[in-house]
Amino acid sequence: MSPTGYPFTAGDTLYFRTIKPFENGDEFTFTAANFSEEVPLTENDLSRIKVVPNPYMVSAQWEQSEYKKKLLFTNLPSECLIKIYTLTGEFVNSVEHDNPYDDSESWDLTTINRQEVAPGLYVFSVELPDGKKHVGKFAIIR
């Protein structure tokens, strides 16, 4: 282990497997200059989590495809579980987020039974692996 805490030191060789066929002259170069240390999230970081658009305005069915119907959860930590509930506490669906390069995750506005959600107020919780939680709300209007 290096003194910086990273498992790599200068001069280490990493091997990558690819399914791309190689041809003469192919060359791949990787640099690790942008490594950064993971910083624990604070409550203030979690309070930045938002749902957009909020409120979500549903338009006529013929004006859009199923690919356009979605909400976006933004400012997420790299790994978390988003759970969505009705205002009465009924579980609607969950969305897993596991991407250190993108801090957003979309939800297709369907229930766990693949039915379109009804208009109304919803509550969401973002749960981190370490047990931290953020709770928020959003509205769907027809």
User: What digits encode the pLDDT tens for the residues 25-70?
Assistant: 777 666 666 655 555 566 677 888 999 988 888 765 544 555 578 8
Range name among 50-54, 59-63, 90-94, 117-121 with the lowest pLDDT average: 59-63
Burial of 81 (0-12, 13-18, 19+ CB in 10 A): middle
**Is residue 62 included in any domain, yes or no?**
yes
**Is residue 2 included in any domain, yes or no?**
no
The two tokens of residue 13 are 């060789």
Helix, strand, coil tally for the chain in percent (to 5): 5, 35, 60
pLDDT at 101: 82
- Domain containing residue 116: 48-141
Q: Give the span between the Cα atoms of 51 and 7, in whole angstroms.
A: 36
Question: Which candidate, 141, 8, 127, 34, places its Cα nearest to that of 79?
Answer: 127
**Is residue 8 included in any domain, yes or no?**
no
Say how many domains are in the chain. Answer: 1
pLDDT at 1: 45
Provide mean pLDDT across the span 108-132.
92
**Is residue 38 included in any domain, yes or no?**
no
pLDDT at 88: 92
**Is residue 24 included in any domain, yes or no?**
no
CATH code, domain carrying 52 = 2.60.40.1930
Confidence (pTM) = 0.66
**Is residue 30 included in any domain, yes or no?**
no
The two tokens of residue 95 are 């969305």
